[in-house]
Amino acid sequence: MNFLKKYHLSIIWAVIMLLATTMKSGDEMPKFDIPYMDKIVHFGIFGVLGFLITYEKRRADILILGLCALYGAVIEVIQLFLPWRSFEWADMLADTLGALAGILVAKYLIGFAKNLK
């Protein structure tokens, strides 16, 4: 139960990500003519996940990056079986790079906050 308390924000965000990346997107969704928008979204949502886990754990290590990359791979594999979604290696790369960016930002901010004390 302590695990759920400690990582509640990360868990909630991970569930939201899973639901958002596996649901069927309707035609009523706004379409943006921005190149690589899908990859930018993957980068951003995994950046938030990497940031949250690092912030809640209060340290950054390769395990967090590995877990985020694995979670991205699991989501992509799930999408293989959904006719309205597709598997993309580039999405997994964007997921991993986003998680890395989130981890680095969290690590920097945690270090910055320690220096203020």
Sequential pLDDT tens for the chain (117 residues): 787 788 889 999 999 999 988 887 655 556 667 888 889 999 999 999 999 999 998 777 899 999 999 999 999 999 999 998 889 999 999 999 999 999 999 999 988 877 776
What pTM did the predictor assign?
A: 0.85
Contact at 8 Å (CB) between 66 and 16? no
Q: Check residue 3 and give its pLDDT.
A: 75
Q: How far is the C-alpha of 113 from the C-alpha of 117, rounded, in Å?
A: 7
